Amino acid sequence: MATDLRISNISKIYPGCIANDNVSLQFKSGKIYALLGENGAGKSTLVKILSGVISPDNGEVFLNEKNLKLSSPLDAKKNKIGMVFQHFNLFETLSVFENLSIDATEDNKSLRVRINEILKKYNFNIDLDVPVLNLSAGQKQKVEIIRCLLRSPKVLIMDEPTSVLTEQETEELFISLKKFCDEGILIIYITHKLKEVLSLCDEVAVMRKGKVVSVSQTQNEKVETLANKMVGQKLAKIKKKINISKNKDEIFKVKHLNFYSDDPFETNLVNLNFSVKKGECLGIAGISGNGQNELFQILSGEIITPNTSIIFRNKEIAKLNPKQRREYLMAFSPEDRISQAAVPELKIYENVALNNFKSSNFFEKGLVNEGKIKEHSKKILSDFSVNTDNVELKSQFLSGGNLQKLILGRELITAPELLICYNPTWGLDVGAINYIHETLIKINDQEKSTILISTDTEELLKLSDRIAVIYKGKLSKIMPSDEVTPEKLGILMGGGSID
């Protein structure tokens, strides 16, 4: 029986951000659909609504013209909507069979027969009695897929399924997905990888900033056209005066940055080399998960990599920890402002004391100098127009924008020569974004340098003097930002090449 899934006028609003804005889409079985978009475009929200994890503020979902009430993941299961998330929901120490039998309704004997049938039919090679922790990422994903198949799903949603797979495993996955599709399962494939869309999917819906901006047949699309739609043409309104001067000193220089991790959810970095000049903003673009996290932590000193050379103001700092790097006038603003850059349970002045540089005298002879910290915090609150003057307030009561202002203020009040920030405006409202953008431009005007790692191409084009793209842990060549267009960035971010 043919399956027809229709999403009608779905909206979901979070404080300060519209995750889904009146989204309507229609899917029919027999085809593989791609849902394409940058991070934060609203794909995940839509998928979570379809799988019952969150409920929409508005709008309806119809399966074969029946209106579905999806108020819990259980409802999605009952309605035969299967979902394979990017991060697996498996018990590592239990065997494959035990994992599959947890939510099964039948007895073990007939379940085993059915699982074996599926294994045979799709040519999956998995030993049911080994613990899941011994499986490769691709095999774990197959276990998740089998779990869905056991419920004979009508709809199968795959969320960024290839992010942890090898090339070989990706190919195998595509073969299986095509088989499922031929058997009449409707497949929705969520991704930001353009090449995968073109090689696997029949139809593609592109989302941007919570809206569906295009629905088209993949055969009519190319990497460039999709990149264009995904990134958007809109150019920044206020653009910084680009500031490239060849004879300025290089203040920061990275050579042979390599990073290898055993964790499949981390990205390896391969031989990054770049430098930053005085008063310059170097933008590093890329879709998240391509190594930005690792790069930020290495630049800040949270991760020390062997054989890397980092020269800052003519000194080798590659072996120094973040605190020592701060003494050389570097400053860092990480992406995760809630649980890394600040601690929500701490008071504002305690969070300020996290940036304990020598001349601050926050801690004299090992003792807390509360008066000094508070005085300093007050100055930050007023200089960076944070919406409170109470330094005793726990920082969990600050809004995202005010918290980010506090963090930037804390980092900038030392007048650092180099600020490294990662997605500084992520999740903020327009007012706060503008404030932070102006602040970052001001830093460059004062002949101080910045490295801006961001997944927001608009922001990068607005603030950077030169831009490079990071893709799968490799850095593209660095381009002057007046030669860069959103299309070019889009292609590089999707793994394509320009020239």
Partner 1 sequence: MEDLLIKIEKRNDVPTTLYFLTPFIAIILTIVGGGIIFYTLGFNPIEALKFYFITPISNLYGFSELLLKATPLCLIAIGLSFCFKSNNWNIGAEGQLTFGAIVGGGVALLFYNQEGFYILPLIIIAGAIGGMIFALIPAILKTYFNTNEILVSLMLVYVSKLILDYLVVGPWSNPEGFNFPETRQFSDSARMPLLFESLRIHAGIFIALAAVLVGWFVLYKTYLGFQIKVSGLSLKTAKYAGFKGKTMILIVFMISGACAGLAGVGEITGPIGQLHRMISPDYGFTAIIVAFLGRLNPFGIIFASLVVSLTYLGAETAQIFLQIPQYTGQVFQGMILFFLLASDYLLFFKIKFLNLKKNELGH
| Binding site residues, partner 1, CB under 8 A | 63, 66, 68-69, 71-72, 74-75, 78-79, 300-302, 321-326, 332, 334, 336, 339-343, 345-346, 350, 353-356, 363, 366-368, 394, 396-397
Shortest approach of partner 1 to residue 156 CB, angstroms? 18
Sequence-distant (≥ 6) Cβ neighbours of residue 167 within 8 angstroms: none
374 class by beta-carbon count within 10 Å (0-12 exposed, 13-18 middle, 19+ buried): middle
Shortest Cβ distance from residue 278 to partner 1 (Å)?
A: 25
Q: From the CB of 397, what's the least distance to partner 1, in Å?
A: 8
CB of 350 to partner 1, least distance (A): 7
Instruction: Indicate the residue among 134 and 340 with the shorter CB distance to partner 1.
Output: 340
Q: Which is nearer to partner 1, 62 or 124 (CB)?
A: 62
Going by DSSP bridges, is the β-strand pair 186-191/32-37 parallel, antiparallel, or unpaired? parallel
Nearer to partner 1, 241 or 315 (CB): 315
Which residues neighbour 63 within 8 Å (Cβ) at sequence distance 6 or greater? 3, 4, 5, 6, 79, 81, 154, 155
Shortest gap between Cβ of 355 and partner 1 (angstroms)? 7
CA gap 335, 249 in Å, rounded: 28
Instruction: Identify which of residues 39 and 360 has a Cβ nearer to partner 1 in the complex.
Output: 360
Give 491's Cβ-side CA count (13 Å radius). Answer: 12
Shortest gap between Cβ of 188 and partner 1 (angstroms)? 19
Of 352, 263, 336, the residue nearest 293 (C-alpha): 336
Nearer to partner 1, 36 or 76 (CB): 76
Q: What is the DSSP string of 446-466?
A: TT-EEEEE-S-HHHHHHH-SE
User: By C-beta, is 68 or 186 nearer to partner 1?
Assistant: 68
Q: How far is the CB of 69 from partner 1 (least distance, A)?
A: 5
Q: Is 97 helix (H, G, I), strand (E, B) or coil?
A: helix
Nearer Cβ to partner 1 (71/387):
71
The radius of gyration computed from the CA coordinates of the chain, to the nearest angstrom, equals 25
Return d(Cα 440, Cα 419) in angstroms, integer: 9
